[in-house]
Amino acid sequence: MGIAIGAGVVVLLLIWVIVTYNALVRRRNKVEEAWSGIDVQLQRRADLVPNLVDTVAAYKVHEEEVLTRVAEARSQLVSAEGPRANGVADDILEASLKSLFAVVEAYPELKASENFLALQRELSDLEEEISFARRYYNALVEKLNSAIQVIPTVLIARPMGFSEAEYFKAEAADRAVPNVSLGGAA
């Protein structure tokens, strides 16, 4: 009788380990899939940047410094790997795009250009999609990290090689209060 109870406990423990391991694998896969979604959106934005730069460059050549910074920031974003590096590169690109749009304010004919307006709308839509993807990814990271850190799951997670995922954080540039001027071009 004692052997049957011991065997039953071992079987239940084994079932719990298998179910817990599979749940952790599913959570890790969801995090990876969500990161892929962010990566796709960041790449779409990086692909849009050359069109914006070309459109602005066609109007004014002497704004080359701003255009160069945008191109360099795009290059950094394209070559970045992982949530932390992508977050930093994304912040740099976002700041350089803000500079680009500040330059655009000085050229009413550019602001009225259909091509530029379409690109600006597309960029705005992408920003919204990136924001949604970031929230979704971070929610999945929180679930995975919590599952890995709590008892008794931690007893399986650590030995089986599970580790916490990185959040895709908004850096200081994302949290800064924007400077809005209603008095015309700065």
pTM for the predicted model, two decimal places? 0.74
- Name which of 161, 116, 115, 127 is nearest 38 in CA terms: 127
What domains, with CATH codes, occur in the chain? 34-149 (1.20.1440.20)
115 Cβ contact partners less than 8 Å away, ≥ 6 residues apart:
55
pLDDT along the chain (186 residues), means of 10: 92 95 97 94 89 75 73 87 86 85 77 80 90 94 95 92 88 43 36
